[in-house]
């Protein structure tokens, strides 16, 4: 694209930004990245501010049986949630039924390990399931819950997206 008498390559800009962000993700300081790429450290700071979705620790949401999974996923994506696992009642039973006992146990252990790695976790489900899930979390994990019914639950429950958004915003602010 032409700006005045300069010819600007959008591709070169995109590649430079990708390199800067990649180096930052690898743990290099802004000053180190500035030295490697030849840009001002303040540019890197402004670039990060421009793209910032949220501050604070990593966040996950796990919930079932949710009637409006797609709507809730959209809220989570807009708010910068790192990991989302939502299922309808049918999806959760299909997930369980189509696995051997060993496969189910292995997948559950992997999921628990994944969710335990987040700083903040929102759990959505029935009263008894939430207590069990909270017990599986790391003691350093900040856990918030949304009770959507009493155990045992059969059928999907509509989750108010504004209620979830408010909880996410509140957790981000802490």
Is pTM, for the whole model, over 0.75? no
Per-residue pLDDT reduced to its tens digit, 77-132 = 999 999 999 999 999 999 999 899 999 999 999 999 999 989 999 999 999 999 99
CATH of domain 59-173: 3.40.50
* Whether 123 contacts 62, CB under 8 Å: yes
Of 43, 78, 98, 96, the residue nearest 164 (C-alpha):
78
Measured N-to-C along each axis, helices 41-51 and 30-37 cross at an angle, to the nearest 10 degrees, of: 110
Per-residue pLDDT reduced to its tens digit, 48-57 = 888 865 556 8
| Mean pLDDT, all residues of the chain | 92
* Whether 53 contacts 81, CB under 8 Å: no
Q: How far apart are CA 117 and CA 105, in angstroms?
A: 19
For residue 86, report the phi and psi dihedrals to the nearest 5 degrees: -125, 140
Q: How far apart are CA 165 and CA 142, in angstroms?
A: 17
């Amino acid at each position: 694209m032409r700006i005045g008498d300069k010819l600007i390559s959008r591709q070169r800009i995109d590649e430079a930004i990708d390199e800067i962000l990649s180096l930052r993700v690898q743990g290099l300081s802004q000053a180190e990245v500035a030295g490697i790429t030849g840009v001002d450290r303040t540019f890197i700071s402004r670039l990060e501010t421009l793209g910032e979705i949220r501050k604070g620790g990593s966040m996950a949401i796990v919930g079932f049986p949710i009637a409006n999974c797609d709507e809730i996923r959209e809220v989570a994506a807009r708010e910068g949630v790192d990991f989302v696992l939502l299922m309808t009642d049918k999806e959760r039973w299909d997930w369980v039924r189509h696995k051997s006992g060993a496969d189910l146990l292995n997948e559950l252990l992997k999921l628990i390990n994944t969710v335990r790695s987040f700083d903040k976790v929102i759990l959505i489900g029935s009263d008894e399931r939430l207590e069990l899930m909270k017990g599986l979390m790391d003691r350093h994990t900040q856990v918030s819950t949304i009770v959507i019914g009493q155990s045992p639950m059969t059928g999907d429950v509509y989750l108010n997206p504004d209620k979830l958004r408010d909880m996410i915003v509140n957790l981000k602010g802490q």
